[in-house]
Structure 1
Amino acid sequence: MTTFPTAKVMMANVTQLRITGTLIWKVNENSLSNYPSLKWLYLYGNKIERIADGAFADLRQLVTLYLHDNKIETIGEQAFTGLNKLERLYLYSNSLATLNSKIFEGLSELEILHLHRNKIEKIEDGAFFNLSNVDELRLDENLLSTLDSPKIFEGLSNLRVLFLPVL
């Protein structure tokens, strides 16, 4: 499989979708618009390299998103726009190198963010801004050489569990 199933009639009431082990390599804008009731989306173990702006815009009920064990290098600044109920985001074991300042913008309900086992070298100031509900953040097993910016963790006011790489 290289694209997402699109049978509109069948998909409108689906709350859980698991697509793993496929050749899907990108998530385009509106790729998943036929699944408006999704609460849990499992897209791990595929070949995904890119996530476009608006890729999840129609998934307003989504609470958990599994994107781990792919090859994700690029995530659009507005890829997660509209995910106002998202609580858990698993992006570990990918190829992310930079976390830009707007990547997680609007994810105000997020509680768990796993970014370990990537190639992250840089985290821009503001990347975690307004993620006040995050209580668990994993950044271990990345390529970060410094975390000396005073604003790098700004916004993580409820953080309880933090895994950092050896610097």
Structure 2
Amino acid sequence: MTTFPTAKVMMANVTQLRITGTLIWKVNENSLSNYPSLKWLYLNKNKIQKIEDGAFARLYNLQVLYLSNNKIQRIGNGVFSSLQKLMTLYMYSNKIERIADGAFADLGQLKLLYLDDNKIETIGEQAFTGLNKLRWLRLDENLLSTLDSPKIFEGLTNLRTLKLELY
């Protein structure tokens, strides 16, 4: 499989979608527009390299998103902006090199964020701004040697577990 299923009639009420182990390499703006009721989305173990801005625009009910074990290199600033109910985001085992400022903006309900086993070398000072409900953050198994600013974790007032390794 190299594209997303698109039968509009059957997809409107789907609350859980699992697409794993495929050759899908890109999530574009219209890939998931026929799944407005999704609460759980599994896109792990694919070949995804790129997620276009607006790819998740109509997934207003999404609570859990698995993007682990792909080939994602960057997280655009607008990628997750409509996922205001998202509570868990799995992005471990990708090729992410940098977390930009505002990468997770508008994810105010996020409680668990897995970014371990990537290639992260730098984290923007405001990368985690607005994540005041975040309780669990994994940044281990990356290429971080230093944190450029002490303000990176400022505002994470509910954070209980931080897994971080500096090399």
Whole-angstrom distance in 2 between the partners of 1:122 and 1:42: 27
Whole-angstrom distance in 2 between the partners of 1:90 and 1:5: 22
Amino acid at match of 2:96: L
- 1:43 matched to 2:80: no
**C-alpha contact (below 8 Å) 2:24/2:48 kept by paired residues:** yes
Matched with 1:4 is: 4
Matched with 1:147 is: 147
Amino acid at match of 2:123: I
- Quick one: percent identity of the two aligned structures? 65
Whole-angstrom distance in 2 between the partners of 1:166 and 1:150: 14
- 1:106 matched to 2:101: no
Secondary structure of the residue that 1:128 maps to in structure 2?
Answer: coil
**C-alpha contact (below 8 Å) 1:50/1:73 kept by paired residues:** yes
**C-alpha contact (below 8 Å) 1:30/1:58 kept by paired residues:** no
Secondary structure of the residue that 2:131 maps to in structure 1?
Answer: coil
Shift of residue 31 of structure 1? 1.1
Whole-angstrom distance in 2 between the partners of 1:106 and 1:156: 14
**C-alpha contact (below 8 Å) 1:69/1:93 kept by paired residues:** yes
Which runs of 5 or more structure 2 residues have no equivalent in the other structure? none
Secondary structure of the residue that 1:65 maps to in structure 2?
Answer: strand
Shift of residue 77 of structure 1? 1.2
Secondary structure of the residue that 2:65 maps to in structure 1?
Answer: strand
Matched with 1:165 is: 165
Matched with 2:115 is: 115
**C-alpha contact (below 8 Å) 1:20/1:43 kept by paired residues:** yes
Whole-angstrom distance in 2 between the partners of 1:148 and 1:12: 44
Matched with 1:79 is: 79
Whole-angstrom distance in 2 between the partners of 1:149 and 1:83: 27
Whole-angstrom distance in 2 between the partners of 1:80 and 1:40: 15
How many residues end up aligned between the 2 structures? 167
Shift of residue 84 of structure 1? 0.5
Matched with 2:96 is: 96
Q: Over the residues paired in the alignment, what is the CA RMSD in angstroms?
A: 0.8
- 1:26 matched to 2:26: yes
Q: TM-score, normalised by structure 2?
A: 0.98
Whole-angstrom distance in 1 between the partners of 2:159 and 2:66: 21
Which runs of 5 or more structure 1 residues have no equivalent in the other structure? none
Q: TM-score, normalised by structure 1?
A: 0.98
Whole-angstrom distance in 2 between the partners of 1:166 and 1:124: 16
Shift of residue 75 of structure 1? 2.3
Whole-angstrom distance in 2 between the partners of 1:60 and 1:162: 28
**C-alpha contact (below 8 Å) 1:70/1:94 kept by paired residues:** yes
Query: Runs of 4+ in structure 1 displaced over 3 angstroms?
Result: none
